[in-house]
Amino acid sequence: METTDSVGRIGTREALLGYERTLDCVHCGLCLQACPTYRSWGMEPDSPRGRIVIMRAIAEGRMQPSDTALRHLDLCLGCRACESVCPAGVRYGEMLEFMRHETNRAPREPFALRALVPHPRRLRATFAMLRFMQRTGLVAMGRSLGLPRRFFGPAVGALEPELPPVAPASLRAPIPRRTAAVGTTRGRVALLEGCLASQMFGAVNRATVRVLARVGFEVIAPEKQGCCGALHLHQGFLEHGRDLARHTIENFERTGADVYVVNSAGCGSAMKEYVHLLADEPAWAPRAAEFSKRVRDVSELLASIELPPMPHRVSRRVAYHDACHLAHGQKIVREPRQLLRRIPGVELVALRDSDQCCGSAGIYNVVEYESAMQVLERKIDCIAEAKPDVVAAGNPGCLLQIVVGAKRRGLRIEVVHPIELVDRAYHGDPPSA
């Protein structure tokens, strides 16, 4: 929607809202040490406060949206750690998405976001092909010829050898549409399977279903669900993100579930914010508001109820990493730790800077590889210092990023979602794939 305004470069609703958000900042500087990129480089334009100054100057026409100016916005992780320490309640994440939308220099979305991520069948076929190529040696052959780097860029070329192998088809298949509660039913929940997460972390979804059923929930997996739009929104592709949000709302409404459960921090954060994303659409605003009220992270839900006894010990030293969009986006910090402490045998060890970003940040570690690796190094320093057996994190991007960092450092640790440890406490160690 076009908007007329006295402010120089404002032309759309998104730009106007982004500009209004910049006026909330009082420039106190409390965000500086919370910001991973400011801690990396010590440059004011690469701090939240500095980026807000840039956004405001562009919106008012005092600064050209040049490559140099926009580069500082590109380098933002969008981790929202600044929001957790801001005394003025600045909604920085929303502002960044609006401004990225308004100043987006890419004529089209990246191929993966446009043609793969929103399409479950294409995504499954892609991962099936990748598994075949891994098992037949074609991936190793292509790696020796430098093909990942040549066709997908240096970031993918560097990351690909250190990523875990693609899971077997049994873990990548859609989860059952309905799973009955064990014993007395305490409610019905609908579970988001996710897009990339469903193919890369199918074991997490299955652990989530087993645990929810074990504690008394009927679990529904909505049909035809796909991407929730989180990755698109994070990169500023708001219109596609809204389309995916509407699709998600429709699918989950049909389930009749009391609660919508998510085990991915970034997805849960986006879904809880549909209420703001669709606020100006009369046909969707009430539905989005009702939808967002029902969204719960799986740790948030489980920590809020009395759980049946867990019969199996999980004798591990566990360090918990706060996924950014869980700690800063959803303000969920205590609940995952409370859940982990309930597991027999778990020793929860302190992790310094546990709420600092690991550098994954959606697709940041692909599009801003060097910066992401600098941020990751600090996270791995903290993990090495804590000496855990296991690192637990509630977001698939974090899990992959920490696996890469631990492998590079030679740390012999297991990296899991907290729900996988809860599942072991109820059902024992899972069979090897």
In tens, the pLDDT along 339-353 reads 999 999 999 999 999
**Are 402 and 381 in contact, with CB atoms under 8 Å apart?**
no
What is the per-residue pLDDT for 252? 97
**Distance in angstroms (rounded) separating the CA atoms of residues 319 and 415:** 10
Does 431 have pLDDT greater than 90?
no
Mark residue 80 as left, alpha or beta (left: phi above 0; alpha: psi -120 to 50; beta: remaining): left
Contacts of residue 250, Cβ cutoff 8 Å, sequence gap at least 6: none
In tens, the pLDDT along 216-232 reads 999 999 988 889 999 99
In tens, the pLDDT along 182-218 reads 999 999 999 999 998 899 999 999 999 999 999 999 9
Supply the angle between the helices 285-294 and 238-253 in degrees, to the nearest 10. Answer: 70
Which of 383, 403, 405 is CA-nearest to residue 317?
383
**Distance in angstroms (rounded) separating the CA atoms of residues 211 and 182:** 10
Phi, psi of 393 (to 5 degrees): -150, 145
Computed on alpha carbons and rounded to an integer, the radius of gyration of the chain in Å comes to 21
What's the whole-model pTM score?
0.91
**Are 251 and 223 in contact, with CB atoms under 8 Å apart?**
yes
**Distance in angstroms (rounded) separating the CA atoms of residues 119 and 116:** 5
**Distance in angstroms (rounded) separating the CA atoms of residues 278 and 67:** 30
Phi, psi of 112 (to 5 degrees): -65, -40
Could you tell me the two tokens for 329?
A: 């986006």
- Other Cβ atoms less than 10 A from the Cβ of 412: the count is 7
Could you tell me the two tokens for 256?
A: 């009749």
**Distance in angstroms (rounded) separating the CA atoms of residues 174 and 171:** 8
**Distance in angstroms (rounded) separating the CA atoms of residues 110 and 159:** 18
The burial class, CB within 10 Å (0-12 / 13-18 / 19+), for 102 is buried
Q: What share of the chain is helix, strand, coil (3-state, %, to 5)?
A: 55, 10, 40
Could you tell me the two tokens for 238?
A: 């708001």
Strand partners, 149: none
**Are 117 and 195 in contact, with CB atoms under 8 Å apart?**
yes
**Distance in angstroms (rounded) separating the CA atoms of residues 190 and 386:** 36
In tens, the pLDDT along 155-172 reads 777 777 778 888 899 899
In tens, the pLDDT along 249-268 reads 999 999 999 999 999 999 99
In tens, the pLDDT along 79-113 reads 999 999 999 999 999 888 888 888 876 666 777 78
Average pLDDT over residues 171-182: 94
What is the per-residue pLDDT for 177? 95
Strand partners, 12: 2
What is the per-residue pLDDT for 17? 64
**Distance in angstroms (rounded) separating the CA atoms of residues 175 and 191:** 10
Could you tell me the two tokens for 411?
A: 């740390």
Which of 214, 239, 219 is CA-nearest to residue 229?
239
- Reported as type and span, the H/E element at residue 390 is strand 390-393
Delineate the domains of the chain, giving CATH numbers in brackets.
13-103 (1.10.1060.10), 111-166 (no CATH), 170-303 (3.40.50), 317-427 (3.40.50)
Distance of CA 292 to the CA centre of its chain: 17
4 vs 56, higher pLDDT: 56
- Reported as type and span, the H/E element at residue 98 is helix 92-103
